[in-house]
Amino acid sequence: MSPRRCLLASFVAGALLSPPRAHAQPPDREGVRRAVLDYVEGFYDGDSTRLLRSVAPFVRKIGYYRASPDSAYRPSAMSFPDGFMSYARGVREGRNHTPAGAAKEIALLDVQDQTASAKLTAWWGTDYLLLARHDGRWMITHVLWQSPPAR
C-alpha cells in the first residue's frame, strides 16, 4: 500500500473508531429573553406573579439614580421580595406610574447553558442583569442599574 493510501486508511479508521461527539444544545436565548420581559413587564404592569417567576429569591438589585438631570447620582438598593412587591402593589394602586410608550429594549449580551447576561433599557434607565438557570427556569440573580445619563 502506498504511503498516501496508508495515511488515508489511518484517517478513515480513526474517524470510524472515534466515539460520537455529543451535540451541544443551542443556548436558550428565548428563555432568557422571557425572564427579562417578565421582569420589566412585572414592574410596568404591577404584576407580582411575573416578578416572582423571573427573579431569584436571593437577588441583589443595586442602582444609581438622580432626582434631576443636574443632580449627583445616589446609590439605591431594592430588597426582594419586599421592595419589588411594594413597587408592584404601588403600580396596581396607582401610586407608581409607567409612562405611556415606556421603553422596553432587551439586548442579550451572553447566553450559555447555565448563566446569561442582558441589558434592559427601561423608562427608569438601564439595567444590567445577570441570570442563572434554577430548576430549569431562567432567574435574575443580580441587577445593576442607573438613571439615564445627562445628555
Q: Are 36 and 120 in contact, with CB atoms under 8 Å apart?
A: yes
CATH of the domain at 60: 3.10.450.50
CA distance to 36, 79, 80, 102, per residue, from 87 (Å): 17, 11, 11, 17
Q: Say yes or no to pLDDT of 40 above 90.
A: yes
Asked, for residue 1, whether it belongs to a domain, the answer is: no
Q: Classify 110 as helix, strand or coil.
A: strand
pLDDT band at 16 (very low <50, low <70, confident <90, very high): very low
How many C-beta atoms lie closer than 10 Å to residue 119's C-beta? 14
How many C-beta atoms lie closer than 10 Å to residue 93's C-beta? 9
**What single-letter amino acid sits at 119?**
K
pLDDT band at 70 (very low <50, low <70, confident <90, very high): confident
* Mean pLDDT within 124-137: 97
Range of weakest confidence among 5-14, 23-32, 49-58, 134-143:
5-14
The model carries a pTM of 0.82
The torsion angles phi and psi of 81, rounded to 5 degrees, stand at -90, -15
Asked, for residue 92, whether it belongs to a domain, the answer is: yes
Asked, for residue 3, whether it belongs to a domain, the answer is: no
* Mean pLDDT within 111-131: 98
Q: Say yes or no to pLDDT of 73 above 60.
A: yes
Torsion, CA 29, CA 30, CA 31, CA 35, rounded to 10: 100
* Mean pLDDT within 39-66: 98
Asked, for residue 100, whether it belongs to a domain, the answer is: yes
Asked, for residue 10, whether it belongs to a domain, the answer is: no
Asked, for residue 151, whether it belongs to a domain, the answer is: no
Asked, for residue 5, whether it belongs to a domain, the answer is: no
> What is the Cα–Cα distance from 117 to 142, expressed in whole angstroms?
10
Give the residue numbers spanning the domain of 132. 27-146
Count of domains observed in the chain: 1
Q: Which one has a higher pLDDT value, 10 or 113?
A: 113
Asked, for residue 9, whether it belongs to a domain, the answer is: no
Torsion, CA 105, CA 39, CA 89, CA 143, rounded to 10: -90
Helix axes 29-45 and 82-92, enclosed angle (nearest 10): 60
